[in-house]
């Protein structure tokens, strides 16, 4: 179990010794999903944090009118989960779906909690992960409240540099909370400003 | 001069669709032992083997996408493709024609079946190659070379047994019209049953054949059927192709650039940093804009 992204991720992020990391990895199942497969559906209980080894996931909700709203994308090296469901034991209000052929590690919440009890470094890592997640969501809320469409788009490309080439415009627009037409206009205007012929 | 022997005969892999208009077998870089370094400077080969497309009012193809750091070469054997780019360029690649696009510092383009052709449908067969650029030319200005079949140099083989169409490089003193950044030969050998043709390339040139039609024997012994790829070893200079029945063979031979390759998606650069720059430039609209 050495050439996985998850191994590198854990090694470079946790000051824990190798045995803890090996212990964690040995308890994680690895799964493959085809494009379109669901890892979680609304109403189900989310049991895992999904770590994307290869591929791409999206997490979204569907409103009363049947419209989808993407809250997050998870390409390689990202975790995706529903904290409300996984930690607070609620049925999930989200769907998690593979947008490409995707390989994920299933990291059980119970496993994380167990390891955090016995290993200080692991607890610190888990905290960092959570705070990172909170920071990401805070920024996202601010963006949705007060940033222009162009600012949102540019911020998106900073977080997800290659997704503009992997994801259809309509899904990016859904994430940004703008219409596909607005996204198209933003990209056209950016090209007008930045393209030197 | 020593014989260049056959290193590997590769069967076509399972095809996949690029957009909805190109049903391709990828040979380079995904086939066994055909990574980007092995056939350097030819770093990608997608082969749309002959495939019938039903008539379609809406042309099938690939939507807007960028390229940076290399050239795309499209060789049309059957069918017609229409392309447009962010520089306002565009055109039609007809049967037998070749389009040589130097993406270099960056273009956005889209490629679709030509409108009228699409309405009728028909057999479609094409090769797309990516030819790497040396570091010093990766950020040069994009350009096109449209090489029409009628204008290609042709070397007639003895006894009217066939001809060699020269797209780029040189064969028996005849030069192809395409200009290349590094030494590269690209030919179509059209051979009648029983015809033979001889080739000679420096032994360090990475060399391969793709059998477009018919069946061939290389150096009298190695058989390669239709749609197979033949990788030649770097152990000699000369080799012979014999057509076991009427055949068309694409022949590629290029001097390796031997520089580091950093590739992700539609960008091929020398370092990870340059790749990240490519994504950033693309996201910021520096490649221009093209309507879907």
Residue B95 pLDDT: 96
Chain A residue at shortest CA distance from B266? A165
Are A16 and A125 spatial neighbours (Cβ–Cβ below 8 Å)? yes
Give A2's pLDDT tier (boundaries 50, 70, 90): low
Mean pLDDT value across residues A165-174: 95
Please check whether residue B208 is in contact with residue B233, taking contact to mean a CB–CB distance below 8 angstroms: no
C-alpha distances in angstroms, B218 versus B9, B172, B208? 10, 19, 11
- For B277, the closest chain A residue by CA position comes to A161
Q: Tell me: the pLDDT tens digits for A103-159?
A: 999 999 888 888 888 888 888 888 988 999 999 999 999 999 999 999 999 999 999
Q: How many domains, in total, are found in chain B? A: 1
Instruction: Locate the chain A residue with the closest alpha carbon to B286.
Output: A195
Report if residue B242 sits inside a domain. Answer: yes
User: Distance between CA A4 and CA A21 in Å, rounded?
Assistant: 12
Q: Is residue B271 in some structural domain?
A: no
- Gap between the Cα atoms of B101 and B193, Å rounded: 34
**B61 lies in some domain:** yes
Question: Does A1 score more than 60 pLDDT?
Answer: no
- Domain membership flag for residue B277: no
Q: Tell me, yes or no, whether B202 lies in a domain.
A: yes
Per-residue confidence (pLDDT) for residue A122, from 0 to 100: 84
- What are the pLDDT digits (tens) for A33-85? 999 999 999 999 999 999 999 999 999 999 999 999 999 999 999 999 999 99
In a domain, B270, yes or no: no
- Rounded CA-CA distance A137/B10 in Å is 50
Assess if residue B246 is contained within a domain: yes
What is the predicted pLDDT for the residue at A47?
93
Residue B282 lies in a domain: no
Q: Do B283 and A196 touch (CB under 8 A)?
A: no
Q: Which residues of chain B have pLDDT under 70?
A: none
pLDDT of amino acid A16: 67
Q: Number of A to B CB contacts under 8 A, please give it.
A: 50
CA dist B256 and A69 (Å) reads 49
CATH classification at residue B70: 2.60.120.10
Instruction: Tell me which chain B residues have a C-beta less than 8 angstroms from the C-beta of A162.
Output: 264-265, 279
ipTM for the predicted complex comes to 0.87
Question: Which residues of chain A from 136 to 195 reach within 8 Å of chain B, CB to CB?
Answer: 154, 157, 161-162, 164-166, 187-195
Of all helices (H) and strands (E), which one includes residue B70?
Answer: strand B70-78
Task: Check whether A14 has a pLDDT greater than 80.
Answer: no
CB–CB of B266 and A164 under 8 A? no
Query: Structural domain of residue B157, as residue ranges?
Result: 6-254
């Amino acid at each position: 179990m050495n050439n996985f992204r998850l191994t590198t991720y854990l090694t470079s992020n946790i000051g824990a010794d190798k045995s803890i990391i090996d212990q964690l990895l040995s308890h994680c199942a690895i799964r493959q999903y085809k494009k379109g497969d669901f890892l979680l559906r609304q109403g189900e209980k989310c049991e895992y944090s999904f770590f994307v080894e290869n591929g791409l996931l999206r997490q979204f909700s569907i409103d009363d009118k049947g419209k989808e709203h993407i809250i997050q994308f998870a390409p390689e090296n990202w975790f995706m989960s529903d904290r409300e469901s996984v930690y607070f034991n609620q049925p999930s209000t989200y769907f998690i779906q593979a947008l490409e052929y995707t390989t994920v590690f299933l990291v059980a919440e119970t496993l994380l909690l167990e390891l955090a009890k016995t290993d200080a470094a692991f607890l610190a890592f888990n905290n960092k992960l959570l705070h990172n997640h909170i920071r990401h969501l805070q920024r996202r809320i601010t963006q949705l409240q007060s940033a222009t469409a162009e600012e949102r788009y540019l911020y998106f490309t900073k977080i997800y540099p290659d997704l503009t080439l992997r994801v259809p415009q309509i899904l990016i627009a859904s994430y940004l909370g703008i219409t596909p037409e607005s996204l198209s206009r933003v990209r056209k205007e950016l090209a007008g400003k930045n393209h030197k012929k | 001069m020593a014989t260049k022997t056959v290193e590997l005969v590769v069967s076509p892999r399972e095809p996949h669709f690029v957009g909805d208009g190109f049903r391709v077998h990828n040979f380079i870089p995904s086939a066994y032992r055909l990574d980007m370094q092995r056939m350097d400077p030819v770093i990608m080969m997608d082969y749309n083997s002959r495939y019938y497309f039903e008539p379609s009012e809406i042309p099938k193809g690939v939507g807007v996408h960028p390229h940076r750091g290399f050239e795309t070469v499209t060789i049309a054997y059957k069918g017609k493709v229409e392309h447009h780019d962010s520089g306002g360029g565009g055109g039609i690649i007809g049967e037998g024609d070749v389009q040589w696009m130097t993406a270099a510092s960056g273009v956005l383009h889209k490629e679709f079946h030509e409108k009228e052709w699409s309405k009728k449908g028909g057999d479609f067969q094409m090769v797309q190659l990516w030819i790497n650029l040396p570091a010093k030319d990766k950020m040069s200005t994009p350009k096109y070379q449209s090489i029409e079949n009628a204008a290609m140099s042709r070397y007639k083989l003895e006894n009217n047994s066939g001809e060699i169409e020269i797209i780029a490089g040189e064969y028996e003193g005849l030069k192809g019209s395409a200009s290349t950044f590094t030494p590269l030969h690209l030919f179509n050998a059209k051979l009648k049953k029983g015809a033979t043709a001889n080739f000679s390339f420096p032994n360090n040139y990475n060399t391969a054949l793709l059998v477009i039609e018919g069946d061939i024997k290389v150096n009298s012994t190695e058989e390669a059927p239709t749609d197979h790829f033949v990788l030649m070893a770097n152990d000699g200079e000369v080799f012979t192709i014999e057509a076991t029945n009427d055949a068309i063979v694409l022949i590629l031979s290029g001097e390796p650039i031997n520089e580091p390759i950093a590739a992700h998606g539609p960008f091929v650069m020398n370092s990870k940093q340059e790749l990240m720059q490519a994504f950033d430039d693309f996201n910021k609209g520096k490649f221009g804009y093209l309507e879907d």
